[in-house]
Amino acid sequence: MLRYYFDDREIPLEKGKIIFISNQYPHSAKPVLNDLPHTISIRFGIYDNQTMQHLLDYFTTPFAIDIMPSNTTLFHRLFQRLYLNSKRKSLRNMLPIINSNLTEILMELIAIVSDNSSSIDSRLEAILPLIQPRQDKQYSLKQISQMVNLTEKQLYRLFKKTYNMSPYQYIISCRIRQAIYLLEETTMSVKEIAISLGYSDQYAFSKQFKLITGKAPSSLKS
């Protein structure tokens, strides 16, 4: 048995269920050692075909979904084929086939999510740019809620229902994602990055960065 959590929401595991978690999304698992489930775990990234550079900013908003497809037999076959191909000795030669397998799975998942998705509240679409990390102006949640004529409690509930995370968690995930980019792609110091992302000091930034990524910010500087 395995208890899985998206943020503070427990996700029941059932045979055939698919769990998809993007980078930076808060999640955890608590295994029951005497009753472990049979699962297929796949970790993958999105890369530029020419440079093979990892596209860190592909997802603008960290997310997680759990899906129970109606056709579990199809997905079991797709995942099993991907898993077996990834275990072959000539892995380099298998990469085009593995990419094709993974693309097929993602397209099937997109079709399911598209059928089940509903339109995002226009008020949330309006506030997302306001809570992105910015040096010139930092808006409080109270200010943001007033801009869209909501109370802070209403904003929290609407945001949580739509994105499965609180506004604060979204802000932190955006900060960390931007920090990774600045650490790897610019010559800015850790202190300069901390200030640009709205942290009170370098220590507070480093502590939160390590808590989420498991690494110190300085470890990403070349």
Digitized pLDDT (tens) for each residue of the chain, 222 residues in all: 566 777 667 777 777 888 888 777 777 777 666 665 567 777 777 766 666 666 655 555 677 788 888 778 888 888 888 888 888 777 667 777 787 788 888 888 877 776 655 556 778 877 877 776 655 567 788 888 888 888 988 888 888 887 777 888 888 887 887 788 788 778 889 999 898 888 888 999 999 988 888 889 988 876
CATH code for the structural domain at 122-220: 1.10.10.60
* Three-class SS state of 213: helix
Name residue 54's beta-bridge partners. 47
Contacts of 19 (CB under 8 A, 6+ apart): 4, 11, 64, 65, 66, 67
Segment 106-144, tens digit of pLDDT: 888 877 776 655 556 778 877 877 776 655 567 788 888
Taking alpha carbons only, the member of 2, 27, 32 closest to residue 15 is 2
pTM of the model: 0.48
Locate the domains of the chain by residue range. Answer: 2-116, 122-220
